[in-house]
Amino acid sequence: MKGKFTVMVLHVVGARPNFMKAAPVYRALAARGHKQTLVHTGQHYDALMSDVFFKGLGIPDPDESLNVGSGSHAQQTAAIMSLFEPVVLARKPDIVLVYGDVNSTVAAALVCSKLGVRVGHVESGLRSFDRSMPEEINRLVTDQLADLLFTPSVDGDENLAREGIAKEKVFFVGNVMIDTLIRFLPEADALFPTFKSELSLDSYGLVTLHRPSNVDDETNFLPMLEVLDKLSCELPLVFPVHPRTRQKWSTQLEQCNPNLRAIAPLGYLEFLALQKSAKVVITDSGGIQEETTFLGTPCLTLRENTERPITLTCGSNVLIGRDWELLRKEFHKALKGNQTRKNIPPLWDGRASERIADVITGLTY
Ligand code: UD1
Protein backbone atom coordinates (compact mmCIF):
# COMPACT_ATOMS: atom_id res chain seq x y z
CA MET A 1 0.00 0.00 0.00
CA LYS A 2 1.28 3.49 -0.73
CA GLY A 3 1.54 6.11 2.04
CA LYS A 4 -0.74 9.03 3.01
CA PHE A 5 -2.73 7.08 5.57
CA THR A 6 -2.35 6.85 9.32
CA VAL A 7 0.01 4.48 11.07
CA MET A 8 0.85 3.57 14.65
CA VAL A 9 4.08 5.24 15.81
CA LEU A 10 5.68 4.24 19.10
CA HIS A 11 8.16 6.69 20.66
CA VAL A 12 10.77 5.60 23.18
CA VAL A 13 12.12 8.16 25.64
CA GLY A 14 14.15 7.58 28.78
CA ALA A 15 16.53 10.35 29.72
CA ARG A 16 16.28 14.12 30.03
CA PRO A 17 17.65 15.02 26.57
CA ASN A 18 15.13 12.71 24.87
CA PHE A 19 12.09 14.63 26.04
CA MET A 20 12.65 17.86 24.12
CA LYS A 21 13.47 15.86 20.98
CA ALA A 22 10.35 13.67 21.08
CA ALA A 23 7.93 16.51 21.94
CA PRO A 24 7.85 18.23 18.51
CA VAL A 25 7.85 14.95 16.56
CA TYR A 26 4.88 13.72 18.60
CA ARG A 27 3.08 16.95 17.85
CA ALA A 28 3.80 16.88 14.11
CA LEU A 29 2.63 13.27 13.82
CA ALA A 30 -0.52 14.05 15.82
CA ALA A 31 -1.31 16.88 13.40
CA ARG A 32 -1.19 14.31 10.57
CA GLY A 33 -3.63 12.04 12.41
CA HIS A 34 -1.28 9.17 13.27
CA LYS A 35 -1.91 6.97 16.30
CA GLN A 36 0.89 7.20 18.81
CA THR A 37 2.21 5.44 21.90
CA LEU A 38 4.76 6.92 24.25
CA VAL A 39 7.01 4.60 26.23
CA HIS A 40 9.15 6.01 29.06
CA THR A 41 11.89 3.60 30.05
CA GLY A 42 12.51 5.32 33.39
CA GLN A 43 16.27 5.71 32.78
CA HIS A 44 15.80 9.11 34.38
CA TYR A 45 13.27 9.06 37.19
CA ASP A 46 13.82 12.03 39.54
CA ALA A 47 11.01 14.57 39.17
CA LEU A 48 13.55 17.26 38.25
CA MET A 49 15.10 15.07 35.53
CA SER A 50 11.85 13.80 34.05
CA ASP A 51 8.38 14.90 35.22
CA VAL A 52 9.06 18.62 34.93
CA PHE A 53 9.93 18.15 31.25
CA PHE A 54 6.72 16.28 30.48
CA LYS A 55 4.70 19.02 32.12
CA GLY A 56 6.71 21.93 30.72
CA LEU A 57 6.88 20.64 27.15
CA GLY A 58 3.24 19.58 26.96
CA ILE A 59 4.10 15.92 26.27
CA PRO A 60 1.25 13.55 27.18
CA ASP A 61 1.81 11.17 30.07
CA PRO A 62 3.56 7.99 28.96
CA ASP A 63 1.29 5.14 27.87
CA GLU A 64 3.83 2.71 29.29
CA SER A 65 6.42 3.31 32.03
CA LEU A 66 9.11 0.68 32.33
CA ASN A 67 10.64 2.15 35.52
CA VAL A 68 14.06 0.64 34.90
CA GLY A 69 15.99 3.12 37.05
CA SER A 70 19.78 3.21 37.33
CA GLY A 71 22.37 0.48 37.01
CA SER A 72 25.52 -0.41 35.13
CA HIS A 73 25.30 0.04 31.37
CA ALA A 74 24.71 -3.67 30.84
CA GLN A 75 22.09 -3.85 33.59
CA GLN A 76 20.23 -0.78 32.41
CA THR A 77 20.32 -1.75 28.72
CA ALA A 78 19.28 -5.33 29.46
CA ALA A 79 16.46 -4.24 31.78
CA ILE A 80 15.07 -1.89 29.12
CA MET A 81 15.28 -4.62 26.47
CA SER A 82 13.47 -7.26 28.48
CA LEU A 83 10.71 -4.90 29.61
CA PHE A 84 10.31 -3.24 26.22
CA GLU A 85 9.98 -6.39 24.09
CA PRO A 86 6.52 -7.37 25.43
CA VAL A 87 5.33 -3.78 24.94
CA VAL A 88 6.24 -3.92 21.25
CA LEU A 89 4.60 -7.32 20.87
CA ALA A 90 1.40 -6.09 22.51
CA ARG A 91 1.20 -2.65 20.88
CA LYS A 92 2.23 -3.77 17.37
CA PRO A 93 3.60 -0.43 16.13
CA ASP A 94 4.23 0.17 12.43
CA ILE A 95 7.32 2.15 13.33
CA VAL A 96 9.30 2.85 16.50
CA LEU A 97 11.13 6.16 16.91
CA VAL A 98 14.21 6.36 19.13
CA TYR A 99 16.01 9.58 20.02
CA GLY A 100 19.60 10.66 20.55
CA ASP A 101 22.27 8.44 22.02
CA VAL A 102 21.28 7.27 25.49
CA ASN A 103 21.07 3.67 26.69
CA SER A 104 17.29 3.67 26.12
CA THR A 105 17.92 4.49 22.44
CA VAL A 106 20.16 1.54 21.68
CA ALA A 107 18.17 -0.89 23.85
CA ALA A 108 14.91 -0.14 22.03
CA ALA A 109 16.57 -0.24 18.60
CA LEU A 110 17.99 -3.70 19.35
CA VAL A 111 14.62 -5.06 20.46
CA CYS A 112 12.79 -3.72 17.41
CA SER A 113 15.32 -4.83 14.85
CA LYS A 114 15.18 -8.39 16.19
CA LEU A 115 11.37 -8.34 16.10
CA GLY A 116 11.42 -7.04 12.54
CA VAL A 117 9.77 -3.76 13.51
CA ARG A 118 10.89 -0.70 11.55
CA VAL A 119 13.08 1.71 13.59
CA GLY A 120 13.58 5.42 12.97
CA HIS A 121 16.52 7.12 14.65
CA VAL A 122 16.10 10.82 15.31
CA GLU A 123 19.47 12.63 15.64
CA SER A 124 21.31 10.07 13.58
CA GLY A 125 24.85 10.17 12.20
CA LEU A 126 26.58 12.21 14.92
CA ARG A 127 30.06 10.91 15.76
CA SER A 128 32.67 11.97 18.29
CA PHE A 129 35.04 9.19 17.07
CA ASP A 130 35.68 8.49 20.74
CA ARG A 131 34.60 5.01 21.72
CA SER A 132 35.38 5.62 25.38
CA MET A 133 32.11 7.58 25.44
CA PRO A 134 29.14 5.30 26.12
CA GLU A 135 27.02 7.48 23.85
CA GLU A 136 29.33 6.86 20.86
CA ILE A 137 28.74 3.11 21.15
CA ASN A 138 25.00 3.77 21.38
CA ARG A 139 25.12 5.95 18.25
CA LEU A 140 27.12 3.47 16.18
CA VAL A 141 24.93 0.50 17.05
CA THR A 142 21.63 2.34 16.72
CA ASP A 143 22.55 3.68 13.28
CA GLN A 144 23.56 0.24 12.04
CA LEU A 145 20.17 -1.13 13.11
CA ALA A 146 17.87 1.73 12.11
CA ASP A 147 15.75 1.62 8.95
CA LEU A 148 15.22 5.38 8.81
CA LEU A 149 18.03 7.72 9.84
CA PHE A 150 17.08 11.35 10.46
CA THR A 151 20.17 13.56 10.56
CA PRO A 152 20.43 17.04 12.12
CA SER A 153 23.42 18.24 10.08
CA VAL A 154 25.30 17.28 6.91
CA ASP A 155 28.25 15.84 8.83
CA GLY A 156 25.77 13.16 9.95
CA ASP A 157 25.05 12.20 6.35
CA GLU A 158 28.78 12.03 5.61
CA ASN A 159 29.46 9.80 8.63
CA LEU A 160 26.65 7.42 7.70
CA ALA A 161 27.81 7.21 4.05
CA ARG A 162 31.33 6.37 5.25
CA GLU A 163 29.91 3.60 7.45
CA GLY A 164 28.17 2.05 4.45
CA ILE A 165 24.58 3.03 5.30
CA ALA A 166 22.44 3.12 2.14
CA LYS A 167 21.59 6.72 1.30
CA GLU A 168 17.92 5.85 0.65
CA LYS A 169 17.55 5.31 4.41
CA VAL A 170 19.05 8.69 5.36
CA PHE A 171 17.02 11.91 5.62
CA PHE A 172 18.66 15.24 6.38
CA VAL A 173 15.83 16.89 8.30
CA GLY A 174 17.52 19.37 10.65
CA ASN A 175 17.53 19.61 14.41
CA VAL A 176 14.40 18.69 16.36
CA MET A 177 15.81 20.13 19.57
CA ILE A 178 15.81 23.51 17.88
CA ASP A 179 12.12 23.01 16.97
CA THR A 180 11.39 22.86 20.69
CA LEU A 181 13.65 25.80 21.45
CA ILE A 182 11.96 28.02 18.86
CA ARG A 183 8.52 27.04 20.09
CA PHE A 184 9.26 27.74 23.75
CA LEU A 185 11.56 30.74 23.50
CA PRO A 186 8.75 33.32 23.91
CA GLU A 187 7.59 31.57 27.12
CA ALA A 188 11.14 31.40 28.40
CA ASP A 189 11.61 35.11 27.63
CA ALA A 190 8.42 35.98 29.48
CA LEU A 191 9.52 34.07 32.55
CA PHE A 192 13.06 35.40 32.63
CA PRO A 193 12.64 38.72 34.49
CA THR A 194 10.94 37.11 37.51
CA PHE A 195 13.26 34.13 37.49
CA LYS A 196 16.29 36.43 37.25
CA SER A 197 15.22 38.45 40.26
CA GLU A 198 14.42 35.28 42.25
CA LEU A 199 17.98 34.17 41.66
CA SER A 200 19.24 37.76 42.23
CA LEU A 201 21.18 37.64 38.99
CA ASP A 202 22.54 40.39 36.88
CA SER A 203 25.41 39.37 34.67
CA TYR A 204 26.27 35.68 34.94
CA GLY A 205 27.69 32.57 33.29
CA LEU A 206 26.08 29.15 33.22
CA VAL A 207 27.78 25.80 33.92
CA THR A 208 26.69 22.17 33.47
CA LEU A 209 28.84 19.06 33.94
CA HIS A 210 27.75 15.45 33.94
CA ARG A 211 29.91 13.38 31.54
CA PRO A 212 31.52 10.40 33.28
CA SER A 213 34.90 11.47 31.82
CA ASN A 214 34.61 14.78 33.71
CA VAL A 215 32.75 13.99 36.91
CA ASP A 216 33.45 10.39 37.83
CA ASP A 217 36.93 10.73 39.27
CA GLU A 218 38.73 13.32 41.31
CA THR A 219 41.79 13.77 39.09
CA ASN A 220 39.48 15.08 36.41
CA PHE A 221 36.77 16.81 38.39
CA LEU A 222 38.60 18.63 41.18
CA PRO A 223 40.97 20.73 39.01
CA MET A 224 37.95 21.66 36.87
CA LEU A 225 36.00 22.75 39.93
CA GLU A 226 38.98 24.79 41.16
CA VAL A 227 39.20 26.71 37.87
CA LEU A 228 35.45 27.34 37.85
CA ASP A 229 35.61 28.48 41.46
CA LYS A 230 38.28 31.06 40.46
CA LEU A 231 36.43 32.21 37.34
CA SER A 232 33.29 32.75 39.39
CA CYS A 233 35.11 35.55 41.26
CA GLU A 234 35.06 37.48 37.97
CA LEU A 235 31.53 36.56 36.91
CA PRO A 236 28.96 34.69 39.03
CA LEU A 237 28.44 31.19 37.65
CA VAL A 238 25.09 29.44 37.97
CA PHE A 239 25.63 25.69 38.11
CA PRO A 240 22.48 23.50 37.99
CA VAL A 241 23.97 20.22 39.19
CA HIS A 242 23.10 16.89 37.56
CA PRO A 243 22.35 14.08 40.09
CA ARG A 244 25.38 12.15 38.88
CA THR A 245 27.63 15.09 39.76
CA ARG A 246 25.82 16.00 43.00
CA GLN A 247 26.07 12.44 44.35
CA LYS A 248 29.84 12.43 44.12
CA TRP A 249 30.78 15.98 44.93
CA SER A 250 28.20 17.58 47.20
CA THR A 251 30.77 18.40 49.92
CA GLN A 252 33.26 19.94 47.48
CA LEU A 253 30.49 21.97 45.84
CA GLU A 254 29.42 23.37 49.20
CA GLN A 255 33.01 24.51 49.88
CA CYS A 256 33.18 26.65 46.73
CA ASN A 257 32.85 30.42 46.95
CA PRO A 258 29.25 31.67 46.94
CA ASN A 259 29.62 33.07 43.41
CA LEU A 260 29.71 29.51 42.11
CA ARG A 261 26.05 28.80 42.66
CA ALA A 262 25.43 25.06 42.69
CA ILE A 263 21.65 24.72 42.42
CA ALA A 264 19.22 21.86 41.69
CA PRO A 265 18.57 20.88 38.03
CA LEU A 266 16.26 23.37 36.32
CA GLY A 267 13.17 22.94 34.19
CA TYR A 268 13.36 23.42 30.42
CA LEU A 269 12.05 27.00 30.28
CA GLU A 270 14.20 28.26 33.13
CA PHE A 271 17.33 26.71 31.67
CA LEU A 272 16.56 28.04 28.19
CA ALA A 273 16.03 31.53 29.59
CA LEU A 274 19.35 31.35 31.45
CA GLN A 275 21.21 30.13 28.35
CA LYS A 276 19.87 32.94 26.23
CA SER A 277 21.02 35.74 28.52
CA ALA A 278 24.22 34.19 29.85
CA LYS A 279 27.50 35.94 29.03
CA VAL A 280 29.03 32.51 28.56
CA VAL A 281 28.08 28.85 28.97
CA ILE A 282 30.59 26.25 30.13
CA THR A 283 29.42 22.69 29.57
CA ASP A 284 30.09 19.10 28.58
CA SER A 285 26.56 18.50 27.28
CA GLY A 286 25.86 17.78 23.61
CA GLY A 287 22.45 19.43 23.44
CA ILE A 288 23.67 22.63 25.09
CA GLN A 289 26.37 23.03 22.42
CA GLU A 290 23.51 23.10 19.90
CA GLU A 291 21.17 25.37 21.84
CA THR A 292 23.90 27.95 22.47
CA THR A 293 24.80 27.87 18.77
CA PHE A 294 21.23 28.72 17.89
CA LEU A 295 21.03 31.42 20.58
CA GLY A 296 24.45 32.88 19.70
CA THR A 297 25.64 32.50 23.30
CA PRO A 298 29.37 31.73 23.61
CA CYS A 299 29.81 28.07 24.60
CA LEU A 300 33.03 26.65 26.03
CA THR A 301 32.95 22.87 25.91
CA LEU A 302 34.97 20.95 28.48
CA ARG A 303 35.59 17.96 26.25
CA GLU A 304 38.39 16.86 23.91
CA ASN A 305 35.98 16.21 21.05
CA THR A 306 32.41 16.78 19.98
CA GLU A 307 29.95 14.74 17.95
CA ARG A 308 28.45 18.09 16.92
CA PRO A 309 31.26 19.67 14.84
CA ILE A 310 28.85 22.04 13.15
CA THR A 311 28.61 23.97 16.42
CA LEU A 312 32.36 24.65 16.09
CA THR A 313 32.51 25.46 12.38
CA CYS A 314 29.29 27.42 12.16
CA GLY A 315 28.12 28.21 15.68
CA SER A 316 29.39 29.72 18.90
CA ASN A 317 31.10 26.68 20.40
CA VAL A 318 34.81 26.31 21.28
CA LEU A 319 36.39 23.02 22.39
CA ILE A 320 38.44 23.54 25.53
CA GLY A 321 39.28 20.01 26.66
CA ARG A 322 41.28 20.42 29.88
CA ASP A 323 43.30 23.39 28.71
CA TRP A 324 42.62 25.78 31.60
CA GLU A 325 44.66 28.58 30.02
CA LEU A 326 42.49 28.37 26.91
CA LEU A 327 39.40 28.31 29.13
CA ARG A 328 40.49 31.55 30.83
CA LYS A 329 41.30 33.17 27.48
CA GLU A 330 37.99 32.23 25.87
CA PHE A 331 36.10 33.15 29.04
CA HIS A 332 37.56 36.66 28.96
CA LYS A 333 36.88 36.94 25.24
CA ALA A 334 33.23 36.06 25.88
CA LEU A 335 33.01 38.58 28.72
CA LYS A 336 34.22 41.30 26.37
CA GLY A 337 31.73 40.20 23.72
CA ASN A 338 34.59 39.48 21.28
CA GLN A 339 33.25 36.23 20.02
CA THR A 340 32.62 36.18 16.30
CA ARG A 341 31.05 32.97 14.91
CA LYS A 342 27.31 33.14 15.39
CA ASN A 343 25.69 31.41 12.41
CA ILE A 344 22.75 29.04 12.52
CA PRO A 345 23.33 25.69 10.74
CA PRO A 346 21.14 24.76 7.75
CA LEU A 347 17.67 23.40 8.60
CA TRP A 348 17.83 24.42 12.24
CA ASP A 349 14.67 26.29 11.42
CA GLY A 350 11.95 24.90 13.69
CA ARG A 351 10.59 22.51 11.05
CA ALA A 352 12.73 19.38 11.46
CA SER A 353 9.92 17.39 13.09
CA GLU A 354 7.52 18.40 10.28
CA ARG A 355 9.99 16.89 7.82
CA ILE A 356 10.23 13.70 9.89
CA ALA A 357 6.45 13.44 10.05
CA ASP A 358 6.24 13.92 6.27
CA VAL A 359 8.74 11.10 5.67
CA ILE A 360 6.81 8.77 7.99
CA THR A 361 3.50 9.69 6.38
CA GLY A 362 4.87 9.07 2.90
CA LEU A 363 6.25 5.59 3.59
CA THR A 364 4.90 2.36 2.17
CA TYR A 365 3.60 0.04 4.91
C1 UD1 B 1 22.48 9.93 30.62
C2 UD1 B 1 22.98 9.60 29.22
C3 UD1 B 1 23.75 10.78 28.67
C4 UD1 B 1 22.94 12.05 28.74
C5 UD1 B 1 22.48 12.26 30.17
C6 UD1 B 1 21.64 13.49 30.31
C7 UD1 B 1 23.55 7.26 28.71
C8 UD1 B 1 24.67 6.32 28.51
N9 UD1 B 1 23.89 8.46 29.23
O10 UD1 B 1 23.62 10.13 31.44
O11 UD1 B 1 24.09 10.53 27.32
O12 UD1 B 1 23.74 13.14 28.31
O13 UD1 B 1 21.72 11.11 30.57
O14 UD1 B 1 21.30 13.72 31.64
O15 UD1 B 1 22.43 6.93 28.43
N16 UD1 B 1 20.38 9.63 38.61
C17 UD1 B 1 19.52 10.15 39.53
N18 UD1 B 1 18.26 10.50 39.13
C19 UD1 B 1 17.84 10.36 37.85
C20 UD1 B 1 18.73 9.82 36.91
C21 UD1 B 1 20.00 9.47 37.30
O22 UD1 B 1 19.86 10.30 40.70
O23 UD1 B 1 16.69 10.69 37.54
C24 UD1 B 1 21.74 9.26 39.04
C25 UD1 B 1 21.89 7.78 39.29
O26 UD1 B 1 22.71 7.58 40.36
C27 UD1 B 1 22.60 7.28 38.07
C28 UD1 B 1 23.41 8.49 37.63
O29 UD1 B 1 22.64 9.62 38.01
O30 UD1 B 1 23.39 6.17 38.34
C31 UD1 B 1 23.64 8.53 36.17
O32 UD1 B 1 22.41 8.34 35.45
P33 UD1 B 1 22.41 7.60 34.04
O34 UD1 B 1 21.06 7.61 33.44
O35 UD1 B 1 23.10 6.28 34.15
O36 UD1 B 1 23.39 8.48 33.17
P37 UD1 B 1 23.51 10.05 33.02
O38 UD1 B 1 24.83 10.45 33.56
O39 UD1 B 1 22.30 10.76 33.49
Give 223-271 as a DSSP string. Answer: HHHHHHHHHTTTS-EEEEPPHHHHHHHHHHHHTS-TTEEEEPPPPHHHH
Rounded distance, CA 119 to CA 145, Å? 8
Residue positions annotated with a catalytic role: 210
Q: What tens digit of pLDDT does each residue of 327-337 get?
A: 999 999 999 98
- Mean pLDDT value across residues 33-55: 96
178 pLDDT above the threshold of 60: yes
DSSP-based three-state secondary structure for 120: strand
> Where residue 142 falls among pLDDT bands split at 50, 70, 90?
very high
284 lines ligand 1 (CB under 6 A): no
75 lines ligand 1 (CB under 6 A): no
43 lines ligand 1 (CB under 6 A): yes
103 CA distance to ligand 1 middle (Å): 9
pLDDT-above-90 percentage for the chain: 93
- Mean pLDDT value across residues 141-167: 98
Q: What tens digit of pLDDT does each residue of 181-196 get?
A: 999 999 999 999 998 8
Q: Which residue has the higher pLDDT, 195 or 121?
A: 121
196 CA distance to ligand 1 middle (Å): 28
- Mean pLDDT value across residues 255-279: 96
DSSP-based three-state secondary structure for 154: helix
44 lines ligand 1 (CB under 6 A): yes
Give the residue, by CA position, lying nearest to ligand 1 atom 27. Answer: 70
- Mean pLDDT value across residues 293-316: 97
DSSP-based three-state secondary structure for 203: coil
Radius of gyration of the chain (CA): 20
45 CA distance to ligand 1 middle (Å): 9
1 pLDDT above the threshold of 50: no
- By C-alpha distance, which of 229, 228, 264, 270 is closest to 245? 264
3 pLDDT above the threshold of 70: no
Rounded distance, CA 121 to CA 102, Å? 12
- By C-alpha distance, which of 363, 103, 334 is closest to 204? 334
Residue among 70, 209, 303 whose CB has most ligand 1 atoms within 8 A, to mutate:
70
Q: What tens digit of pLDDT does each residue of 188-231 get?
A: 999 999 988 888 888 999 999 999 999 999 999 999 999 999 99
Query: For all residues of the chain together, what is the average pLDDT?
Result: 96
161 pLDDT above the threshold of 90: yes
